[in-house]
Amino acid sequence: MQITAKQLAKLLNGTVEGNPDATVHAASKIEESQEGTICFFANPKYEAYVYNTKATILLVADDFQPSQAISTTLIRVKDVYASVAILLEQFGNRQIADVGISEKSSIHESAKVGEQTSIGDFTILSKNSRVGANCTIYPQVFIGDNVQIGDNVILYPGVKIHHDCQIGNNCILHSNVVIGGDGFGFASQEDGSYKKIAQIGNVIIEDDVEIGSNTTVDRATMGSTIIHKGTKLDNLIMIAHNVEIGQNTVLAAQAGVAGSTKIGDNVVVGGQAGIVGHLKIPNGTKIQAQSGVTKSVRKENQALYGYPAIDYKTYLKAYAAFKNLPSLVKKINELEKKLKEIS
């Protein structure tokens, strides 16, 4: 991909200072810049790199005032980080080059595929499945019976979407995501064994959801497991049956949500946090990494920390006392010894 400073400025709604015809083919970090690349400057601690960068184009904020001469072409933008997100999307487009259906794929005669959709080698589209327009389905993806997939969806290699599940528009599922595997449902028997409970529901994933590699979202026992619009799930996350996650919520890697828990909108869940089943987590809740939530949260926009998770500030005060316990115990033992001597 070759693109000029003038074209980039138009894309990013910015202005060019320098050569508008300067051309780049890739993005690079400012401390590792090379000729023919574009890099960005937003953090003041990296300013020294600005004056000796080898990059052909440098992305900076509108209000940046250099203290030395700069030889490279600048593109000034209102928000550097927002512009970088757009920039990386341009340079990171890894869709299959040839639009079409691979001869090595298996497409059921009743399946439907939208226009400008690419389907890679050894991908399976099962009976009555539907894939929308402008989708990219990489090799070795499995799409089960009656699955409905919207437009502009990217499914990376190894994704598995089981029967009756629904994927909205503009979703991205990374490698080895499993959507619609059975929920963990078993009934204990008198002899100590467990009988499997049939999981007859499905999974509904709304528009603009992104799910990281090796994450699993289980189908509902009955009804639906639902991931609402705009939510982002990191790698290695477990979402159990009948969970519902609200809009624009984010979960970091190795978080787990047990069955039938309802999570609100704009919730942030840190890495390795765990939420037990049948709870309600309201809008705006922030759960710190490695915390364990064992009961429903009543107040919106509350930060939680620890196990069992409590108010974040309360936890910090408790921890401050807890880490001093060894010295406090020592003092108490000394006081008890002196009291015995006095008595």
Is it the case that residue 318 has pLDDT exceeding 90? no
Which pLDDT belongs to residue 327?
A: 87
In sequence order, what DSSP letters do the residues of 7-43 get, joined into one string? HHHHHHT-EEES-TT-EESEE--GGG--TTEEEE--S
> What are the φ and ψ backbone dihedral angles of 174, each rounded to 5 degrees?
-85, 175
Q: Kindly report the length of the chain.
A: 343
> 282 pairs with which residues across the strands?
none
pLDDT band of residue 93 (cuts 50, 70, 90) is low
Considering the candidates 174, 228, 241, 278, report the single residue annotated as catalytic.
241
pLDDT band of residue 94 (cuts 50, 70, 90) is low
Which pLDDT belongs to residue 96?
A: 52
pLDDT per position as a tens digit, 42-61: 999 999 999 999 999 999 99
Which pLDDT belongs to residue 299?
A: 95
| Rounded CA separation 6/22 (Å) | 8
- To the query of whether residue 241 is one of the catalytic residues in this protein, the response is yes
Let me know if 163 is exposed, middle or buried by CB neighbors in 10 A (0-12, 13-18, 19+).
middle
Is it the case that residue 2 has pLDDT exceeding 80? yes
Is it the case that residue 97 has pLDDT exceeding 50? no
**Tally of CB atoms within 10 A around 160:** 19
**What's the chain's average pLDDT?**
93
Is it the case that residue 184 has pLDDT exceeding 90? yes
pLDDT per position as a tens digit, 265-288: 999 999 999 999 999 999 999 999
According to DSSP, residue 5 is labeled: H
Give the DSSP H or E segment for 313.
helix 312-322
Segment of 49-58, 77-86, 231-240 carrying the highest mean pLDDT: 231-240
Which pLDDT belongs to residue 99?
A: 62
pLDDT band of residue 334 (cuts 50, 70, 90) is confident
pLDDT per position as a tens digit, 133-160: 999 999 999 999 999 999 999 999 999 9
